[in-house]
Structure 1
Amino acid sequence: MKPVITLLGHDLVSLDVGLDYSDAGALATDNRDGDITDRIITTYKVHYNVSDLQGNRANEVVRTVVIATYDGPDTVNPVIRLLGDATVYVANGAMYMDAGAVATDDRDGDITHRLMTAVTVADKLIDTVNTSASGTYKIHYNVQDMAGNAAMEVIRTVIVAAPVNNPGGEYNPNPYTEAPAAPSTPIPVLQQSEGIQQLAQKDLKPEGAGSFTVQWIKEKETLLLPAGVAGVVEAGGTLKLVREPLTLELSGETLRKLLADAGTGAQEAQIRITAASADSGLMKQAVERATIPGAVQWTVASDVYSIQVEVVDHNGDPFAGTFTLENEKIVMTIETGHVADPELMGVYAVGSDAKLVYAGGQWSNGKITVEVPLGGQYAVLAYTRSFEDVRDNHWAKTVIARMAAKHVINGVDDVRFEPQRALTRAEFAAMLVRLLGMTQTSGRAQQPDLLMYLRNPGMRRQ
């Protein structure tokens, strides 16, 4: 992301003849480096023009004056850092997509765009890694800063295995070098169907701070993210997948945990992310079961989406022994528009028992955002709760309805709220627990009355 310069004072200054001029200056900020005002270079241009007595004008002559802080000669070399592994093993004939590298300089900042790459095999320069010919390839990364200082060369080694029908290497057409045996399963190409979008590094749009955005083709229900491409997202960054009206966001840390869950097969792994329009029948059935005539009504504010994030091998099968990480979340944003009162809307999942499970959600500018597990069916619903003893002119009716929509309170039974009755300590504790989204942990209860209330769903005044 580019730094930003902000002028101090007006962008147009008019002076009387003979007055001194002192420039107000400017401020410069960067999303990574912070305040970089001291690095501003100021350029003045002095324009010379003249006309003779007949009105003929000369060609304008311009002198450029550059004012910059002189920190002495730049003698510090930039630094190159590989993205992904330094040694990569690839199956013969498989697709290879290099993870790339980044380059930084103490004065010029991010100079990744200046990187120069070259591919060699047996010390001969070639155009690209040829996965149809086994051998040991080297990808060379070099860069120079604006002062001409060169970084220390960084090399990635790519080992292409011999053909699987000839592991002994007796027949190796057009070999470059004898390929060493790979210590782990190489990376084959996953056979794709029309509904799959295969991501490459070029599909990732940088958003700064190690984060990236991908435009998800609307007609594709599944994305495949190779391990090498996933490694480009920094642990503290995010990968945002935009497929309107749905946006999914995975943290770099979650991507790493998913690949680690594949164990020794991580090198050949791909992260499969599916966002399909689900059959609304199950959601409709769950809504009907949760409707109480005259007390609980629902408004559907979005389609039903089936979300699944998992690690698969080259055949598209989940790795043996892997499982969806229970504590990992994906941030989901759904465009809803203004179909209902936003204070009553939330994201709901359909549980294994065909019951609605409230997931939460923050609504803003026609969109609702929520953290959900890596798998499930979700939809946006507006929950309208009414009580016989809370009439339309009651001073707290709106607040009660909104708190009920967030499932912080439910009333004493299906039709009564008893707004004048004082809360018990246990009721108040239950409200706080649900409002803060807290879950029960193991341990001995110090307050038995509170524990009994939280465990007993029949005690309705919540």
Structure 2
Amino acid sequence: MTGLEPGTYTLQAKIFGDKGDPSPGSVMYVVSEGQTYSVPVTYSGSAWLKPRTLTLKHVHIGEDGSASLGFKVITDSDNHYGYLQEVTFVRNSTTTPEVPSEPSEPSEPSEPNEPSEPVTPPVTEPVTPPVTEPGTSPEENPVPSPAASPVPSPTTAPGTDSGSGWTAPQATAQASATLPATPQPEILTVTEPKVNAQNKIVIPLAEGQSEVRIPADAAALKGIAGLKVDGKTVTVEIPGQVVQQLQGLVGQQQKGSMISVVLEPWSSEQKTGWTLQANTKSEAELRTAGEMFNLSLSVLNQQGVKTPLTSFAEPVTLRLKVQENGNPMLAGVYAAADDGTLEYAGGTWEQSVLTAQVRQSGNYAVLEYDKSFTDVSPADWAYSVIKEMAAKHIIEGDREGRFAPKREVTRAEFVTMLVRALGLKAEGLSSFADVDSSKWYSDDMAAAFAAGIVKGDSTGKFAPESRITRQEMATLLVRAHELRSGSPAPADSLPAFADAGKIDSWAKEAVSAAGSLGIITGTPGGFLKPQANATRAECAKVLSLLLNL
């Protein structure tokens, strides 16, 4: 700040943070004529989350009329922020203040001794006002000794409401200067969003921007189909119902509140550290294949207090760009916990972009999941599709790291694979008389039944633990394709399998459709083997063909 009249000033502001506690060394300060005046930040816990007034008195401004005002937050937490609001810098006196000696009581300074030889204050570089980045170390001694300067000591008494260690002289005149807001180039504020022809608001992010803020009471938000924030490597599409959820967090006091959408990318150091930690816990080799970032939806009230929306009423769609050397067979979107654990969130590949739907805020990453099995080698015919289905978390191995590619599959096991492949969720209970709700596959059976993929026999049974035949597998695959595509499968003629006469009449239509789609191809000798039981390797193959149609 420049152009200030000489005199004694008081700095006052409301301070608060968004999480964690400030560490010792966190201060609000002023630098003037090489002198640093500061007051410590002593709030913690819930008090740190609410705006509290902090006051720094007896700041001397000399003839040059300039000062640097700032706020330093030191913390051990990542992504920790401190905020200033309603900042004022008020001139208290037109005369140069008397220099007090070290006070015995905070409110009653004693008269100072006249120094024999005035000491010229040292000239230092001014400290800039913005909030210090997390992790910076505090200054060793930001408060100068009163004996070294003819101006009042800025030493303060921690823990007081005013933050001042002694009483200011009675003000005789006042002039104030308001500290301008600290620039935040990473935040894009859109005060008047526009709705497009699809009844959506689309906001592009520029390079370096990671947050969008929109007034919670913006007229354009009413009844919108969705809000899309489009970044360089990450795009998020928020359904209208989730926008309404955010508005609901504000309640009736929407005026002055802001909806915040944060897509904050991880640094290269964060990516490396997390991946190393995750690889120690994962059964597969993990490699970064695209962006790693934090998704956060929240609202900020007029005081800047943030209320996060942790879970969503409808899925939020993420579109993540995969790096150039990314492997589409192994790449997926994962929810990445801070401790290195991960949860598969899906991912549909199209033109080097993975699309997934998520239901909560948090960290997300594009990773390659490279799982190896002790009994599957690169020479095996199903090697690549087994890796692909393992990367999509559709198939798994046993505790010893084996896959058992030649083992025959039960009907319940194949239904579970289909449910995972389609991303279905359990809705109610299946109506099969022979599916006990206590069985491990009961939820998957219920999901498949609700989706119309499984129907059972005329007696109301499904025989979940019987081996599935290849013609039964073809029937379920066709139903899954119709559900996934939203259209009927082609009704072409039956492929010319050498053993087509062994196909049961009820399965011929489905086998014909599966053959036309290329899901069922038969053996190299031209046989279908419709009555043979399907193996785990064969299941991996047909599921790969289904998902890549």
TM-score (norm 1): 0.50
Measured in 2, the distance between the counterparts of 1:273 and 1:208 equals 22
Shift of the 385–454 alpha-carbon distance from structure 1 to 2, 3 Å rule, reads farther
Matched, 1:287 2:282: no
Give the structure 2 partner of residue 427 of structure 1: 413
Give the structure 2 partner of residue 310 of structure 1: 298
**Equivalent AA in structure 2 for residue 256 of structure 1:** Q
Give the structure 2 partner of residue 299 of structure 1: 287
Measured in 1, the distance between the counterparts of 2:191 and 2:251 equals 23
Higher strand share: 1
**C-alpha contact (below 8 Å) 1:227/1:271 kept by paired residues:** yes
1:343 to partner: Cα distance: 2.0
Q: Out of 345, 360, 374, which is 1:388 matched to?
A: 374
Q: Out of 167, 172, 186, which is 1:195 matched to?
A: 186
Q: Out of 224, 227, 240, which is 2:216 matched to?
A: 227
1:254 to partner: Cα distance: 1.8
Give the structure 2 partner of residue 329 of structure 1: 315
**Equivalent AA in structure 2 for residue 209 of structure 1:** Q
After superposition, the C-alpha distances for 1:398-450 in whole angstroms (9 at most, x for unaligned) are 22111111101012234211111111244223323322323456769972377
Give the structure 1 partner of residue 355 of structure 2: 369
**C-alpha contact (below 8 Å) 1:269/1:313 kept by paired residues:** yes
Aligned-residue Cα RMSD (Å) equals: 3.2
Measured in 2, the distance between the counterparts of 1:264 and 1:318 equals 16
After superposition, the C-alpha distances for 1:245-297 in whole angstroms (9 at most, x for unaligned) are 111111223212221233222344321111112332663244312444xxx22
Measured in 2, the distance between the counterparts of 1:371 and 1:235 equals 22
After superposition, the C-alpha distances for 1:138-189 in whole angstroms (9 at most, x for unaligned) are xxxxxxxxxxxxxxxxxxxxxxxxxxxxxxxxxxxxxxxxxxxxxxxxxxxx
**Equivalent AA in structure 2 for residue 199 of structure 1:** V
Give the structure 1 partner of residue 166 of structure 2: none
Q: List runs of 5+ in structure 1 lacking aligned partners.
A: 1-189, 456-460
**C-alpha contact (below 8 Å) 1:286/1:356 kept by paired residues:** no
Shift of the 347–199 alpha-carbon distance from structure 1 to 2, 3 Å rule, reads same
**C-alpha contact (below 8 Å) 1:221/1:276 kept by paired residues:** yes
Matched, 1:354 2:340: yes
**C-alpha contact (below 8 Å) 2:332/2:347 kept by paired residues:** yes
Matched, 1:342 2:320: no
**Equivalent AA in structure 2 for residue 306 of structure 1:** N
1:220 to partner: Cα distance: 2.4
Give the structure 2 partner of residue 275 of structure 1: 263
TM-score (norm 2): 0.43
1:314 to partner: Cα distance: 1.6
Measured in 1, the distance between the counterparts of 2:256 and 2:385 equals 53
1:339 to partner: Cα distance: 1.5
**C-alpha contact (below 8 Å) 2:293/2:365 kept by paired residues:** yes
- Bigger radius of gyration: 2
Measured in 1, the distance between the counterparts of 2:391 and 2:295 equals 24
Shift of the 233–414 alpha-carbon distance from structure 1 to 2, 3 Å rule, reads farther
SS of 2:311's equivalent in the other structure is coil
**Equivalent AA in structure 1 for residue 217 of structure 2:** G
Measured in 2, the distance between the counterparts of 1:274 and 1:351 equals 17
**Equivalent AA in structure 2 for residue 216 of structure 1:** L
Give the structure 2 partner of residue 82 of structure 1: none
Measured in 2, the distance between the counterparts of 1:390 and 1:282 equals 31
**Equivalent AA in structure 2 for residue 258 of structure 1:** L
Give the structure 2 partner of residue 48 of structure 1: none
Matched, 1:400 2:386: yes
**Equivalent AA in structure 1 for residue 378 of structure 2:** D
Give the structure 2 partner of residue 7 of structure 1: none
1:362 to partner: Cα distance: 1.1
Shift of the 357–280 alpha-carbon distance from structure 1 to 2, 3 Å rule, reads same
Measured in 1, the distance between the counterparts of 2:239 and 2:222 equals 9
Higher helix share: 2
Give the structure 2 partner of residue 239 of structure 1: 227
**C-alpha contact (below 8 Å) 1:198/1:223 kept by paired residues:** yes
**C-alpha contact (below 8 Å) 2:262/2:295 kept by paired residues:** yes
Within 5 Å, which residues of 2 pair with 1:89-238? 193-201=184-192, 204=194, 206-229=195-218, 231-233=219-221, 235=223, 237-238=225-226
Q: Out of 236, 247, 250, which is 1:259 matched to?
A: 247
**Equivalent AA in structure 2 for residue 340 of structure 1:** G
SS of 1:380's equivalent in the other structure is strand
SS of 2:253's equivalent in the other structure is helix
Q: Percent identity?
A: 27
SS of 2:310's equivalent in the other structure is coil
Measured in 2, the distance between the counterparts of 1:416 and 1:387 equals 5
Choose 303-312 or 262-271, whichever is displaced more: 262-271
Give the structure 2 partner of residue 93 of structure 1: none
Shift of the 380–307 alpha-carbon distance from structure 1 to 2, 3 Å rule, reads same
1:345 to partner: Cα distance: 0.6
1:214 to partner: Cα distance: 1.2
**Equivalent AA in structure 1 for residue 259 of structure 2:** I
Give the structure 1 partner of residue 236 of structure 2: 248
**C-alpha contact (below 8 Å) 1:286/1:350 kept by paired residues:** no
SS of 1:314's equivalent in the other structure is coil
1:337 to partner: Cα distance: 3.4
Shift of the 337–350 alpha-carbon distance from structure 1 to 2, 3 Å rule, reads closer
**C-alpha contact (below 8 Å) 2:436/2:442 kept by paired residues:** no
Measured in 2, the distance between the counterparts of 1:191 and 1:325 equals 31
**C-alpha contact (below 8 Å) 1:299/1:382 kept by paired residues:** yes
Shift of the 323–219 alpha-carbon distance from structure 1 to 2, 3 Å rule, reads closer
**C-alpha contact (below 8 Å) 2:275/2:287 kept by paired residues:** no
**Equivalent AA in structure 2 for residue 265 of structure 1:** Q
**Equivalent AA in structure 1 for residue 290 of structure 2:** S
**Equivalent AA in structure 1 for residue 202 of structure 2:** T
SS of 2:402's equivalent in the other structure is coil
Number of equivalences? 262
SS of 1:261's equivalent in the other structure is helix
**C-alpha contact (below 8 Å) 1:214/1:241 kept by paired residues:** yes
